[in-house]
Structure 1
Amino acid sequence: MKKELIALASKVTDLSNKLIISQLEKNNINGIVPSHGSIFILLYENEQVTMKDIADFVHKTKPTVTILVDKLVKMGYVKKEKSKTDSRVTFVELTQKGKDLKPVFEEISNNINNIIYKNLTTNEAVQTEKTLRKVIANLNFEDIV
C-alpha cells in the first residue's frame, strides 16, 4: 500500500496556489492570495457576514482571519463595520470593487478546473473526489481527539 497521500495532497495544493496566483496576476489582480478565495466565496453568497462566520467557514483562527480581512479592507475589496448592538461583533461586506471581481474569479475558477480535470475521465474525477471526501472525514479533528 502506497503512503504518499499527504505528500501528493500538499503538491496539489502548492501547484494549485501557484496557478491561482498566476491567473490573478494575468488579470492584473495583485495582492490577493489563495487564502482570500474562501472569504470572497462566502461574501458572494451572503451580503454581510461576521468575522466569526468567516473564521468558521475558512477553518482559520480569528486572528488569522483578521489579518486576511484587514488586507482586503486596505485594498478596497471589503469594508468592516462594528455591530450597533454588540461591540464584540464586526460585520464584513464586499465593496463595489470586490463585487466587480466576481466574473474574473469565476473565469479563473473555470480555467483551473479545466486544467485539473483535463486528463481525468468522469469516473476518475468522481472517484477521486469521493476518496478525498473520505480522507477529510477520517481527519475530522473532533473525531480524532
Structure 2
Amino acid sequence: MIKGNAISLISHIRDAVNKLIISELEKHGIEGIVPSHGDILTYLYKQKNVTMKELAEHIHRTKPTVTVLVNKLVEFGYVIREKEISDNRITYIKLTKKGIELKPIFEEVSSRIREVMYGGFSEKEGEQFESVLENLLQRFNCTSLK
C-alpha cells in the first residue's frame, strides 16, 4: 500500500545529506561552506572559467542567489571574480589556489555520501533507484513547464 509520504521522505533525506556534508567538511576544518557552495565548486572543478549566467543555469539557481553564494566563496578565498577584458558586463568566476586545494576533500565527502546512499544496493538496485528518481524529476519539470 502506498503511504503517500515520498515528498516527506525525500525532504528528510536531503536534510540528512546536507548535515552529513557539513559534518564531513567540519572534520577537515572547513566551516561556512554549505551544500549549495558545493554545487558551484564542483562545477568549477570541471569548468575552469565560467560566467555567472552559466553557473546559475548549471546549478539551477537564480542569478541573485548565485551572486550571494559566490560572494561568500570570494569572502572565504575559494574563488575570484574576473571581468572580461573586451566586455565589462561579463564576469568570470575562477577557483583560487585555496579553492583548488578543496577538491580532494570534496571528492572524499562525495565518496562518503555515495557510500551511505548506495551501500547495500546491488548495481541493478542502484540503477533502478536512480531511474525512479530521474523519472520523478522529469515529471515535475514537465509539470512546472505547463
TM-score by length of 2: 0.94
Between the aligned partners of 2:24 and 2:144, the Cα distance in structure 1 is 37
Identity of aligned pairs, percent?
47
Q: Which runs of 5+ in 1 are unaligned?
A: none
Distance in 1 (CA, whole Å) between partners of 2:110 and 2:80 is 24
Structure 2 unmatched ranges of 5 or more? none
1:84 to partner: Cα distance: 1.7
Q: How does 1:57-96 map to 2 (within 5 A)?
A: 57-96=58-97
Instruction: Provide the C-alpha distance between the structure 1 equivalents of 2:32 and 2:88, rounded to a whole number of angstroms.
Output: 30
**Aligned match of 2:111:** 110
CA RMSD of aligned residues (A): 1.3
Paired with 1:47 and 1:144, the residues of 2 have a C-alpha distance of 31
29 and 89 in structure 1: CA distance in 2 versus 1, 3 angstrom threshold: same
Shift of 1:121: 2.5
- Cα separation, 1, equivalents of 2:16 and 2:122: 21
Partners of 1:106 and 1:20 in 2: how far apart?
A: 11
Structure 1 residue 141 displacement after superposition: 5.1
Q: Which of structure 1's runs of 4+ aligned residues deviate more than 6 A?
A: none
Supply the distance in 1 between the matched residues of 2:66 and 2:143 (Cα, whole angstroms): 21
Q: Which residue does 1:17 correspond to in 2?
A: 18
Give TM-score scaled by structure 1 length: 0.94
Other structure's SS at 2:92 match:
strand
CA distance in 2, matches of 1:93, 1:130: 33
Partner deviation per Cα, 1:67-112 (whole Å, 9 max, x = no partner) = 0001000100000011222222110000010001101110111111
SS in structure 1 at match of 2:93: strand
